[in-house]
Amino acid sequence: MTQSDPTGVHEWHSADYVEEWIGGWGSPERMASLRRIPQLIPHDPDQEIRVLDVCGGWGPVSTVVIEAFPKAQLTLHDFSEPMLEQARERLTKIAENVTFVRGDLMTPEWKAKIAGPFDAVVSSLGIHNVRFPDRIRAIYEEIFPLVGPGGAFINLDQIQVGDLVRRATQQSQRMARRQQIFEETGQWKSLAEIEAEMGSGNRLRGHSRASEADLKRIASHEPATLGNQLRWLKEAGFDEVDCFSRERGGALIGAFREG
């Protein structure tokens, strides 16, 4: 497990980077979004369910699952050893409920030490870091048999969009900000002024460059758009799939198996 991020944005092997990432993450809005994940698990909160947290990081999703299902037994998977170290430290209060597993989603062997089936598989802001659309599709195929009958796979993640949708989203954000400024000041600003004010909003810095081979691989497959991902989940074997919300460039997706 040597490849941290094919696009070079993240360095998940670095303890310093992981600590910085965690420190800039946990806003009340993000936690509210995460709490929607266990709300979609189709089981009674008093049940002793088994849950797999894929790309669980330092444990934010596992934390909200335990809040909603206090008797749950969790398996927290991640690729980054610094992330797992953070999770072990931060989840000491529920240590009896959590098992930690390291595995690399770049290969099907990521689940070699994971024993299913689970009543639910959950994930947030992890699978998209694989970057390769063909690999994301394969991961969905690998997750399906880990979900038991009557269970679900719930994923809150960044979703790739096409150029037209991206431009429409950016336009909507600029127009909303323009309206807000007018209501506050009585003045209409130009869209160019709004765009300059809003900036890119990207706090991440690159750690390395993507290789030409990786860029060609990404470009050679159909993109991991919302429509394609829902179809991939259906083709993987799930009986019903849907998108429950879109926010901040991401989507809350649910894939369900009949009981």
Helices 81-90 and 15-23: crossing angle in degrees, nearest 10, is: 50
What pLDDT is attached to residue 13?
A: 79
Q: pLDDT (tens digit, 9 = 90+) per residue, 4-38?
A: 677 667 787 788 888 887 887 777 888 889 999 99
Phi, psi of 160, deg, nearest 5? -70, 140
Alpha-carbon gap, residue 142 to 145, rounded angstroms: 7
Question: Helix/strand/coil (H, E, C) string of 143-207?
Answer: HHHHEEEEEEEEEEEECECCHHHHHHHHHHHHHHHHHHHHHHHCCCCCHHHHHHHHCCCCCCCCC
Q: pLDDT (tens digit, 9 = 90+) per residue, 60-107?
A: 999 999 999 999 999 999 999 999 999 999 999 999 999 999 999 999
Mean pLDDT of the chain: 88
Number of CB atoms found within 10 A of residue 100's CB: 19
Which of 18-22, 173-177, 230-234 tops mean pLDDT? 230-234
**Is a pLDDT exceeding 60 seen at residue 117?**
yes
Question: What is the reported pTM?
Answer: 0.83
Position 203 confidence tier, pLDDT thresholds 50, 70, 90: very low
Q: What is the mean pLDDT of residues 201-228?
A: 77
Tokens of 3: 């490849």
Tokens of 129: 């870091």
**Single-letter amino acid code for the residue at 147:** V
SS3 category, 252: strand
Q: pLDDT (tens digit, 9 = 90+) per residue, 30-50?
A: 888 999 999 999 999 999 999
Superfamily of domain 15-160+211-256: Vaccinia Virus protein VP39 (3.40.50.150)
Q: At CB < 8 A and 24+ separation, what contacts does 199-206 make?
A: 203/24, 204/9, 204/10, 206/8, 206/9
In terms of pLDDT, which residue wins out, 216 or 26? 216
Q: How many residues does the chain have?
A: 259
**Is a pLDDT exceeding 90 seen at residue 170?**
no
What pLDDT is attached to residue 178?
A: 87
Q: Where are the domains of the chain?
A: 15-160+211-256, 163-198
